[in-house]
Structure 1
């Protein structure tokens, strides 16, 4: 499974990648914003995108919209991670056809549970 982790905060990317590795997901690529993520998505195949909501250049909702509008990328699961839990924001992300939603702070069990919705393990 190849996972693209998108977050403008290096520490958050580091924490998320460490959690993924502990859950035995090792094929991970990092992007610092939605624009870089889109470039990677057009250049490589990914099984899942985990993205932050608030980022410079292109935020998570805009990234998600671009993914869903692209015939080649539309079926990739996108997991949105954010510290924002307002009803309006959640509705906006759901309307954009997000595959899953995690509110920060979260632990490895929450991440594992969300990943289990996309990947079945032996």
Structure 2
């Protein structure tokens, strides 16, 4: 699985990448904000984006909106990570069809649970045929 980790804080990107590697994921790129993420998404194919919500230039919600509006990217899985737990902000993100949501601080088990839920859902056979 090819994963893009997006966070403006270097330390958080490194923590996330370390956790992903502990879970067996090795094909990981990183971006410092949503603008850089969109550049990478234009040039490479990813299976999953894990993005912070609050970032300069293009924040996580802007990134999510841009991904959902592009035909080539609209089915890309995205997990939003944030320290915000305000109900209105969380609901706003969920309304934009985010695939997973993690509140900081979180542990390896929380990340693993989100990834298993997403990959299990992704691997389901298409029963509409």
Verify same fold: TM over 0.5.
yes
1:115 alignment counterpart:
115
2:50 aligns to what SS in structure 1? Answer: strand
Q: What are the within-5 Å matches in structure 2 for residues 49-88 of structure 1?
A: 49-88=49-88
| Aligned twin of 2:19 | 19
Determine the C-alpha separation between the residues in 2 that align with 1:27 and 1:47: 10
What is residue 41 of structure 2 aligned with on the other side?
41
Unaligned runs of 5+ in 1: none
Q: Which has the larger radius of gyration?
A: 2
| CA apart distance, 1:112 | 0.2
Task: Please give the per-residue CA displacement for 1:47-77, whole angstroms capped at 9, x wherever unaligned.
Answer: 0000000000000000000000000000001
Question: 1:29 is paired with a residue of what secondary structure?
Answer: strand
Q: For the residues of structure 2 that align with 1:42 and 1:74, how far apart are their CA atoms? A: 13
TM-score normalised by length of structure 1? 0.97
Whole-angstrom distance in 2 between the partners of 1:84 and 1:61? 13
Structure 1: distance between partners of 2:70 and 2:117: 23
RMSD over aligned Cα, in angstroms? 1.0
Equivalent in the alignment of 1:91: 91
